[in-house]
């Protein structure tokens, strides 16, 4: 019995040693560059009718760089996008957008100026459940980007995302409700090199929450981790993202600026 116990101890020790050396070898081989970032986005949304909706995004990103550790000292990106959404059914939403990205000093593309025009086509499928929402998103991107030589190139990227949203103090999302969210997304870039030759572009994990101040205004704060394998090293982005969403702003402003005259009561 004693010999058997000693054998088990030896096997466990050997197994732990093998795992330790394998883990050490992976760390040594896969050198990692890590960046801290702050992202902010302002979203405007408006329902046009029962089937169509429009959105506009304005955003920017600040980041640490190899030359500067302070996040807020370097604005690496600013962007704007216009979206159109079509609700095919209660479960399917089809969307398209046109965006412009002013990329400046972005670590992922080698720290050079690279403006980008982006056309996006996507479909979202919703699993509506009482107490939570689960959705999956399929997105294809046509990116027209400037390379390091100042020449624009076509690049393609495919994105697959799974998202979970859970209201905290209610069964449904509405004004006055806090909610928890998390997403997992894979990005693939066939024949679309940036600084690597990998078909797998990156993994994007997000976790955080938000608060619906009203049915027309909500705020969201999340932590995003992006892992990008590259030829000679890996890159990791740690992003704190803050988003403000405003719904139906123009109609509400119009009603406030041009209120309808009160109907006069007919005399008795």
Q: Are residues 41 and 168 in the same domain?
A: yes
Position 27 pLDDT exceeds 50? no
pLDDT above 60: residue 21: no
DSSP strand pairing (178-188 vs 152-167): antiparallel
- Residue 254's pLDDT is 60
Residues 48 and 73 in one domain: yes
Q: What is the pLDDT of residue 228?
A: 87
Of residues 259 and 108, more confidence is placed in: 108
Out of 69-73, 78-82, 261-265, which region has the weakest mean confidence (pLDDT)? 261-265
- Both 48 and 93 in one domain: the answer is yes
Listed in sequence order, the residues at least 6 apart from 24 whose beta carbon sits closer than 8 Å to its beta carbon are none
Residues 177-222: tens digit of each pLDDT: 999 999 999 999 876 444 445 678 899 999 999 999 998 999 999 9
Residues 108 and 11 placed together within one structural domain of the fold: no
Q: Is residue 268 part of a domain?
A: no
- d(CA 29, CA 222) in angstroms, rounded, equals 31
208 in a structural domain: yes
Its pTM stands at 0.80
Residues 126 and 213 in one domain: yes
Average pLDDT over residues 19-23: 43
Residue 155 maps to which CATH number? 2.40.160.40
Task: Give the CB-side neighbour count of residue 203, counting CA atoms within 13 A.
Answer: 5
Question: How would you class 238 by CB atoms within 10 Å of its CB: exposed for 0-12, middle for 13-18, buried for 19 or more?
Answer: middle
Over the stretch 148-157, which tens digit does the pLDDT of each residue have? 888 999 999 9
Residue 79 lies in a domain: yes
Domain enclosing residue 97, as ranges: 35-257
Residues 20 and 117 in one domain: no
Does the structure show a pLDDT above 70 at 120? yes
Q: Tell whether 262 is covered by a domain.
A: no
Same domain for 126 and 5: no
| E-state strands within 68-151 | 75-87, 92-103, 116-129, 132-146
- Residue 87 reports pLDDT greater than 60: yes
- Do residues 123 and 159 share a domain? yes
In a domain, 143, yes or no: yes
Per-residue model confidence as pLDDT tens digits over 102-117: 998 787 766 678 899 9
How many domains in the chain?
2
Q: Are residues 50 and 168 in the same domain?
A: yes
Q: Do the domain assignments include residue 238? A: yes
Let me know whether 116 and 2 are in one domain: no
Return the residue matching tokens 């801290």: 36
Query: Residue 256 — pLDDT band, cuts 50, 70, 90?
Result: low
């Amino acid at each position: 019995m004693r010999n058997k116990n000693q054998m088990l101890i030896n096997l466990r020790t050997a197994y732990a040693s093998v795992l330790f050396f394998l883990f050490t070898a992976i760390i040594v081989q896969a050198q990692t560059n890590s960046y801290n970032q702050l992202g902010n986005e302002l979203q405007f949304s408006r329902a046009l009718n029962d089937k169509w909706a429009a959105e506009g995004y304005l955003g920017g990103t600040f980041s640490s760089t190899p030359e500067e550790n302070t996040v807020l000292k370097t604005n690496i990106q600013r962007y704007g996008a216009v979206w159109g959404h079509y609700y095919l059914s209660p479960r399917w939403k089809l969307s398209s957008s046109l965006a412009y990205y002013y990329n400046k000093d972005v670590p992922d593309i080698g720290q050079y100026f690279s403006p980008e025009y982006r056309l996006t086509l996507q479909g979202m499928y919703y699993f509506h459940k009482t107490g939570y929402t689960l959705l999956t998103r399929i997105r294809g991107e046509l990116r027209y980007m400037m390379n390091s030589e100042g020449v624009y190139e076509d690049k393609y990227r495919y994105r697959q995302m799974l998202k979970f949203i859970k209201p905290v103090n209610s069964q449904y999302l509405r004004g006055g409700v806090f909610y928890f969210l998390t997403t997992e997304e894979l990005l693939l870039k066939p024949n679309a090199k940036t600084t690597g030759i990998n078909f797998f572009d990156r993994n994007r994990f997000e976790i955080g929450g938000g608060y619906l101040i009203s049915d027309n205004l909500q705020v969201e704060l999340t932590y995003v981790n992006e892992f990008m394998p590259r030829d000679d090293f890996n890159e990791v982005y740690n992003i704190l993202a803050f988003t403000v969403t405003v719904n139906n702003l123009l109609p509400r402003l119009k009603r406030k600026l041009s209120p309808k005259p009160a109907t006069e009561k007919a005399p008795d």
